[in-house]
Amino acid sequence: MATKETQLAEIREARAQSSETKRPTIPALEEILYEFLPVLDHGCIRVVDYMGDDAAVVQAARVSYGRGTKKISEDRGLIRYLMRHRHTTPFEMCEIKFHIKMPIFVARQWIRHRTANVNEYSARYSILDKEFYLPKPEHLAAQSTVNRQGRGAVLSPEEAEAVRTLLFEDAERAYRHYEHMLNDDGSGKEQDPDRSMLARELARMNLSLNYYTQWYWKIDLHNLFHFLGLRADTHAQYEIRVYADIIMDIVRKWVPYSCEAFEEYHLNAFTLSNTMKKIVCRIITGEKVTQETSGLSKREWDEFTTGIGMARS
């Protein structure tokens, strides 16, 4: 991952500092605080700050003065109960702040999750770096014939190389024209705005969606779980899912009991509708149920049989 030396120096300085606090800290999270965790070809995630832990969830649920019970098993049991019965507000007491660098098209998906505080790098004031996302050949696929939002068969090596060439040449040309409109000499030095042919806020519109942007993103644990439930799912687009997978690893370090409960009851679970519940009861009694006799549509039946691991009829 190409990162400016000045940025790395700032991060090394931040990681070298420490502060005394009476608030709970998480050693596993402190270990990676401020550290760049690379994603895709030029992207990254880093934890900037956090507040709360598993005990804070318990404390909020009980509205207690202490740090939870003396028995860790009781705290874990309560957290699982809260997650199982959708008591969400105790999880809102924990917050985390990330610095995230991602392709613009990923950011446009990400921003649909409106329950967070966001501040994005401004190309009105600064010049964007020449960094764009170029997918690996194995991640280039044709449009799915059964899913309007998904990918189908992976392209052949020849087709993938042709697509990568187009993406590379288009991104290179767009940035070259971007620099020209700014009268930027490509040295990386701060340019005199009086020399610009075009204002930065206008020149930026020429860049393609695979160029990288970055932002600070602060969110509470409940809404973070909602984000992960959608974006860490196997059906999510690969380019945002890899970010969600890294965030999942961070959350496991931060609030292990809460994350365990989330994975158990939501991320890796399957919810049954009332009709599906009745079908399970019919199957248990020995009845052979087919899609035609189930009362479900073909799509619902496929989701049901996949969800419970039943061979389709």
Q: Map out the domains of the chain as residue ranges.
A: 5-133+210-267, 274-307
- Interatomic CA distance for residues 195 and 223, integer angstroms: 45
Cα gap 206→183, rounded to integer Å: 14
Token digits for 242? 């890899």
Assign domain 5-133+210-267 to a CATH class. Answer: alpha beta
Q: 151 pairs with which residues across the strands?
A: 143
* One pLDDT digit (tens) per residue for the chain, 313 residues: 445 677 777 777 777 777 778 788 999 999 999 999 999 999 999 999 999 999 999 999 988 656 655 567 789 999 999 999 999 999 999 999 999 999 999 999 999 998 999 999 988 888 899 999 999 999 998 887 776 677 778 899 999 999 999 999 999 999 999 999 988 655 556 556 566 688 888 999 999 999 999 999 999 999 999 999 999 998 899 999 999 999 999 999 999 999 999 999 999 998 999 999 999 999 999 999 999 999 999 999 999 998 888 765 5
Look up residue 59 and give its two tokens: 């404390």
For residue 268, the surrounding DSSP H or E stretch is: none
**Closest alpha carbon to 221 in 125, 92, 104:** 92
114 is catalytic: no
Tokens of 283: 């199957």
Closest to 125 (Cα-Cα) out of 191, 209, 181, 174: 191
Q: Which of 76, 200, 204, 231 is catalytic?
A: 231
